[in-house]
Structure 1
Amino acid sequence: MAFNVKTLLRDERFWKIAFQVLTVLVVGALIAFFLGNLNRNLIRQGSPFGFRFLLNPAGFSIGESAIRYLPQDPYWKALAVGLSNTVTLVIAGIVFTTIVGVTAGVASFSPNWLLYKISRAYVGLVRNVPLLLQLFFWYFAVYSNLPRPADQINVLGLMYLNNRGAYLLWPATAQLALLGIGVIVVGLVGSFFLWGWYTQVRVATATGGQSQLYGLVGLVAIVLLIVIFGLNWRVPEAVEGGGVTGGLRLSREYVAALSALVFYTSAFVAEIVRAGIQSVSRGQWEAARSLGLSAGAVMQLVVFPQAMRVIIPPLNSEYMNLTKNSSLAFAVAFPEIYSIANTTFNQTGRPVEVFVVLMATYLVMCLAITVVMNQLNRAVQFKER
């Protein structure tokens, strides 16, 4: 068949593709122009664009580090320390935010008047106070006012609190700590699928699901045994004159940043959970009650699993907000990635390169969260037959 230009020009599909190609070319040309202009200006200033400066010695100390670091180490390692601090803050924040947010969201449906009012007051108050102000509150009003190390608080001999931070029970080595985290993650994933299977069987049969429940209990028991007896826990011990040795030390800056991020983000998560539960039709509640299920069982087995498909998409956004908001921890001197990047470009005079690294870091972290949450979202969606 001969090529016909007139027919091609009348084809709507051609113009859609042509418009997209033209848009890509224009955007690419603009990016190339701006990057070329940037590089010319940097060359004129005697500092062409590049990342070789990351190999130079940093020359500054970092007060808190999850990995070994010395001032003579290169800038890239200093940024790696900031990244590790940020990742530990974000992961802990996501875990505790999920627990607090889901609890507050479910509590808003509690028949207990006091529990309901506490939940609504918490959400209404925390959501309307700026995060930076809450960060200062936790740092100056709460943790800075804890007793001095000489008068520190002993919590059941397993945790100590003073105005320098918190000291917790922790595995003896970093390898054992990673093993414990891995076991817990595997246990949570396995428990999620077993619970979903149990829920489907229980709702379908009203009395079935015993084998799935036994499997879930067995998996939880195995994980608990490994965590309790297999990690060689080190108990923090008070020393004479004040202070603590052993265990895991969490600095005052870290716990303040973590507390602010968790309680602030949890207020938004609670509203997401409440909206997700409300999206389940009343007929589902009534049908579950007609099977003789208790109010708690109705929520666990029928309502909340259906609400997950509404909860997870906006929950993804809140987790990414928590990740980006972690940059505010520099306000209380916690050495996260933004704080160390700020010191780096002040010393090197390389703000463009440093902020490219910084933006790429936050982008990768947010994309990683999105990938995990998208997989979880697909797992909880209704499957059509």
Structure 2
Amino acid sequence: MPPPRIPPKKRSLSWRSQAFRGLVYQVLAVGLIALVVWFLARNTLHNMQVRGIQSGFDFLTEPAGFDIGEGLYPFDSGEPYWRAFLMGVVNTLRVAVIGIVLTTVLGTLLGVGRFSRNALVRGLCSAYVELFRNVPILLQLLTWYLVLTETLPASYEPWKAGPFFLSKGGLNFPIPVWATGHGMAAIGLVLGCVAAWGYRRWAWRRFEATGRGRSMVWVPMAVALSGAVLGWLVGGAPTQFNVPVKGDFAVEHGGALTPEFLAVLLGLTFYTSAFVAEVVRAGIQSVSGGQGEAAAALGLSRGQQMRLVMLPQALRVIIPPLTSQYLNLTKNSSLAVAIGYPDVVSISNTALNQTGRAVECISIVMLVYLSTSLLTSLLMNWYNARAAIKER
């Protein structure tokens, strides 16, 4: 006979109810915060009116009056301020996204290297971590900028390695001349990634059903690349490149990465990867040593033990602090203003000096970093939920 069903307790509106008291306290806290925000905003607007300071975001549609020398698309002084801010956001995201990818790869290799049986490898990884995480990030950015602008040859005498040129003017490299085939290749890559994701799901289900493992890395990678190649072929297989050439005063044509961008990227990558290495090391150490011994007993090599046994179990410990390091890298990119890289902070400072709209410009910068941080946290929390060990 099943046990009798206990009816749910009714929520009481009495002050003796802990749930009711908690709700009242939360409403009062939210109301108090809203009152403080309203008071500060009202007081700020009143003081600005008394001093004759203009306010509002109408300046965003006015001509910016300054050029931006670096970005994914050209920008001249006749374009509005909102496009200048958009250029700054794009430059910030370009550094942050590339930096996160490079930091993850380098930090993981360093963290795994701390467990190497080779004393030289362990010592080098330890020395790297202790060096780069104990030097302030601003000092590292300035150091890299000094190295790139003072030790490299002049722009008219660059170092050459194949089609690549390196000088005080930055890194020049070939870029494809845009054609329909490149767009088709991009579409094929997206479809290939979808097909690779479907293959991984099928391979995982087959592994759970039969116990026979299939490639979960190389085959999906081949499927994605095959989609891109197929799209490139369908689009006419364009092969024309815009190749840089040495001019009389500087390297001309091709693509270029400025010294400011390289300094920011190198500084953020080397600094944050030292912290990521410690996160990976702590995550691996959190896994019981018996797991490695069991993997060795099954005949797995040292690399297979780390890749198939240790790292997957360490992810549940690695991902939360790793998210914090990604957020730190994105926010530390604001220090790029110190070496002249035109990120969103630099664009905001220029707009503030020209228009006097301090509150508005600072609000835009805060909104940009808040949005990127929340989006990063959302994606990492989703991945953390997928990587978490689920009990049966």
TM-score if structure 2 supplies the norm length? 0.87
Q: Is contact 1:197–1:212 with CA below 8 Å preserved after alignment? A: no
User: How far apart, CA to CA, are the structure 2 residues paired with 1:371 and 1:176?
Assistant: 34
Post-superposition CA distance 1:135-189 (Å, at most 9, x none): 111111244311112321112x132111110012333239977877787787778
TM-score if structure 1 supplies the norm length? 0.88
Work out the percentage of aligned pairs sharing the same amino acid. 40
Q: Which runs of 5+ in 2 are unaligned?
A: 1-11
Post-superposition CA distance 1:3-33 (Å, at most 9, x none): xxx9712111110100101111111111111
Q: Is contact 2:13–2:20 with CA below 8 Å preserved after alignment? A: no
SS of the residue corresponding to residue 365 of structure 1 reads helix
Q: Which has the higher helix share?
A: 1
Q: Write the letter of the residue equivalent to 1:353.
A: E
What is the match of residue 318 of structure 2?
Answer: 311
Q: Is contact 1:170–1:177 with CA below 8 Å preserved after alignment? A: no
Indicate yes or no: 2:295 matched with 1:288. Answer: yes
* Range with bigger deviation, 196-205 or 111-120: 196-205
Q: Write the letter of the residue equivalent to 1:163.
A: K
Post-superposition CA distance 1:261-311 (Å, at most 9, x none): 110011101111111111111111011111101001111111111111211
Indicate yes or no: 2:156 matched with 1:150. Answer: yes
Indicate yes or no: 2:177 matched with 1:172. Answer: yes
1:93 to 99, 102, 106: 99
Match runs of 1:1-385 below 5 Å: 8-155=14-161, 157-173=162-178, 208-210=212-214, 212=216, 215-216=219-220, 218-219=222-223, 221-222=225-226, 225=229, 232=239, 234=241, 236-241=243-248, 243-385=250-392
Q: Write the letter of the residue equivalent to 2:91.
A: N
SS of the residue corresponding to residue 75 of structure 2 reads coil
Q: Is contact 1:39–1:48 with CA below 8 Å preserved after alignment? A: no
User: How far apart, CA to CA, are the structure 2 residues paired with 1:376 and 1:14?
Assistant: 36
Q: What is the RMSD of the two structures over their aligned residues, measured on CA atoms?
A: 3.0
State the number of aligned residues: 378
User: How far apart, CA to CA, are the structure 1 residues paired with 2:139 and 2:260?
Assistant: 15
User: How far apart, CA to CA, are the structure 2 residues paired with 1:214 and 1:58?
Assistant: 49
User: How far apart, CA to CA, are the structure 1 residues paired with 2:382 and 2:174?
Assistant: 33
* Range with bigger deviation, 179-188 or 39-48: 179-188
Post-superposition CA distance 1:88-112 (Å, at most 9, x none): 1111111111111111111111112
Alpha-carbon spacing, 1:193–1:323, altered in 2? closer, same or farther (3 Å): farther
Q: Write the letter of the residue equivalent to 1:26.
A: L
Alpha-carbon spacing, 1:213–1:312, altered in 2? closer, same or farther (3 Å): closer
